[in-house]
């Protein structure tokens, strides 16, 4: 019995040592790989089963894995060389201050340019979540993109979120300065070299997984890749123009914002998508406060002869489409507002155009006759309880108000001037919109 007890103590000790050793060998890289593999597996299983991918559940599970991984980790004892990996895990748990500090610790190791860029980008995510505008501005001034792709990543992140945080915390002038600094360091792209890289990558994929049909000749593919690269670079360049105009307009410097957009429109290719976006933004900026533009009326549901018939009323011009999900989601709120405020002088006019199909009908050919599609609108209006006029016209109705996305609502005051323009729908944004309508009604 004594020998058995000794054996059990030894075995228990060995098992404990194995457990400790196993824990010691589990480092941040292993955990990150495990999480990455889990995410890949979940997406693959969802695709294989044909079921929708439940992003929320996947992210919840990943958060739980990260929480478990860091719960016994003392950030102060993490070595600088491992700090970036642990920073990623702490960021997944929402511990942004810890993540930011660990990223800074990693940067003391003088990492390679690509690693430094990744660590600084990750650090800015946490700085932005914490609202630390000063650190954001400092990092944006220091960070250096290493190639065209990292330059585009930086451009998207800066214009998409970080500059707004700096403007809110440190003012528009500081935000504009930082924006100019970031724009100046975005590297020029060698479009021909980029096209060659894309072609080589495509050929490598095709060697492993041959396509069903023969690819186009190399010269045609190169030309397309180069054209795509040029357009992509222009898209990112416009992000800086658009953000600058947005900041200026928000600061009450409308004339400066109009000048920025006007200069871009003057020099841009009229055939490019960015030209159309700039022209739309310029139109919307200049029509606010101006008399509402008239509309081309091909035909309509309800009595509508033009906006002039609503002089003295507050009017919402609602640009929508029968296929637009957010448009449909907005209608219960729109109808409730109409019922409650119509007696106080509110009118609504829906504006749409022909799309060549309706629901699942004719979705491939998209050549549904106009009469047929127009008739379908009666079904749509009944389904969504729309009782205000709905107008069909041509593209000029959209261009007159700079409409590039739907739903877009144009609010016109009692004097017939454009009061404001609102894009999109959410319950929260509609609440603010309704408050704006009520103020306009007086």
Query: Which tens digit of pLDDT belongs to each residue from 4-25?
Result: 444 344 444 443 333 333 333 3
190 alpha carbon, distance to own chain's centre: 27
Record the tokens describing residue 334, joined without a space.
């729109």
Distance CA 302, CA 320 (A): 16
Could you read off the pLDDT of 375-386 as tens digits, one per residue? Answer: 999 999 999 999
**Cα-flanking dihedrals φ and ψ of residue 358, to 5°?**
-150, 125
Q: Above 90 in pLDDT, residue 425? A: yes
Average pLDDT over the chain, rounded to an integer: 92
Distance CA 168, CA 294 (A): 37
Beta-sheet pairing, 418-423 with 408-412: antiparallel
Record the tokens describing residue 213, joined without a space.
């049909």
pLDDT of residue 53: 87
Taking residues 243-255, what's their average pLDDT? 94
* DSSP 8-class letter at 210: -
Domains of the chain with CATH codes? 30-185 (1.25.40.10), 191-241+248-287 (no CATH), 299-441 (3.40.30.10)
Q: Is residue 80 helix, strand or coil? A: helix
Cα Rg of the chain (Å, integer): 29
pLDDT band for 57, please (50, 70, 90 cuts). very high
Beta-sheet pairing, 314-319 with 346-352: parallel
pTM above 0.75, yes or no: yes
Q: Which of 290, 352, 332 is nearest to 434 (CA)?
A: 332
Pair 280, 403: CB distance under 8 Å: yes
Q: Where are the beta strands (DSSP E) in 281-402?
A: 299-301, 314-319, 346-352, 390-392
pLDDT band for 26, please (50, 70, 90 cuts). low
Could you read off the pLDDT of 261-315 as tens digits, one per residue? Answer: 999 999 999 989 999 999 999 999 999 999 999 999 999 999 999 999 999 999 9
Record the tokens describing residue 245, joined without a space.
């105009």
pLDDT of residue 21: 37
Q: Above 50 in pLDDT, residue 260? A: yes
pLDDT band for 46, please (50, 70, 90 cuts). confident
pLDDT of residue 1: 44
pLDDT band for 52, please (50, 70, 90 cuts). confident
* DSSP 8-class letter at 308: G
Query: Long-range contacts of range 98-107, CB-CB < 8 Å, 24 or more positions apart?
Result: 99/123, 99/126, 100/126, 100/127, 100/130, 100/132, 100/135, 101/75, 102/75, 102/78, 105/78, 105/80, 106/80, 106/81
Distance CA 143, CA 147 (A): 12
Pair 78, 86: CB distance under 8 Å: yes
What's the first-to-final CA gap in the chain, in angstroms? 94
Q: Above 60 in pLDDT, residue 59? A: yes
Record the tokens describing residue 78, joined without a space.
């993490």
Taking residues 399-406, what's their average pLDDT? 93
Could you read off the pLDDT of 192-246 as tens digits, one per residue? Answer: 999 999 999 999 999 998 888 989 999 999 999 999 999 999 999 999 999 999 9
148 alpha carbon, distance to own chain's centre: 20
Q: Which of 124-128, 208-212, 356-360, 390-394 has the lowest average pLDDT?
A: 208-212
Taking residues 357-369, what's their average pLDDT? 94
Cis peptide before 407 (omega within 30 of 0): yes
């Amino acid at each position: 019995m004594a020998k058995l007890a000794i054996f059990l103590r030894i075995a228990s000790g060995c098992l404990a040592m194995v457990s400790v050793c196993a824990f010691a060998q589990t480092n941040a890289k292993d955990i990150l790989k495990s999480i990455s593999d889990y995410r890949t597996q979940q997406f693959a299983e969802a695709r294989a089963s044909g079921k929708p991918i439940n992003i929320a559940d996947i992210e919840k599970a990943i958060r739980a894995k990260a929480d478990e991984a860091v719960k016994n980790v003392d950030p102060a004892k993490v070595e600088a060389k491992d700090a970036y990996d642990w920073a990623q895990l702490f960021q997944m748990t929402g511990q942004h201050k810890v993540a930011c500090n660990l990223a800074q610790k990693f940067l003391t190791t003088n990492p390679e340019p690509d690693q430094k860029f990744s660590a600084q980008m990750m650090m800015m995510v946490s700085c932005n979540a914490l609202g630390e505008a000063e650190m954001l501005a400092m990092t944006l001034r220091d960070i250096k993109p290493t190639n065209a792709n990292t330059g585009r990543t930086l451009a998207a992140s800066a214009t998409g979120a970080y500059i707004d945080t700096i403007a809110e915390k440190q003012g528009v002038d500081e935000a504009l300065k930082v924006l100019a600094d970031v724009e100046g360091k975005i590297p020029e792209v060698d479009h021909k070299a980029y096209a060659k890289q894309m072609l080589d990558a495509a050929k490598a994929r095709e060697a492993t997984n041959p396509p069903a049909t023969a690819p186009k000749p190399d010269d045609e593919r190169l030309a397309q890749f180069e054209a795509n690269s040029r357009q992509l670079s222009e898209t990112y360049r416009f992000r800086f123009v658009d953000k600058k105009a947005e900041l200026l307009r928000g600061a009450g410097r409308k004339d400066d914002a109009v000048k920025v957009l006007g200069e871009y429109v003057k020099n841009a290719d009229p055939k490019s998508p960015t030209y159309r976006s700039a022209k739309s933004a310029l139109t919307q900026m200049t029509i606010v406060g101006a008399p509402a533009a008239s509309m081309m009326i091909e035909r309509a549901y309800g009595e509508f002869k033009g906006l002039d018939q609503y002089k003295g009323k507050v009017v919402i011009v609602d640009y929508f489409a029968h296929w637009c999900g957010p448009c449909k989601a907005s209608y219960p709120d729109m109808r409730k507002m109409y019922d409650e405020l119509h007696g106080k002088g509110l009118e609504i006019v829906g504006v749409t155009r022909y799309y060549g199909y309706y629901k699942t009908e004719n979705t491939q050919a998209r050549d549904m006759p106009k009469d047929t599609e127009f008739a379908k609108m009666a079904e749509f209006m009944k389904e969504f309880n729309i009782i205000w006029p709905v107008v069909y016209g041509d593209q000029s109705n959209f261009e007159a108000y700079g409409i590039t996305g739907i739903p877009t609502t144009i609010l016109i005051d009692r004097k017939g001037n454009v009061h404001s323009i609102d894009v999109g729908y959410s319950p929260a944004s509609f609440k603010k919109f309704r408050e704006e309508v009520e103020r306009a009604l007086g």
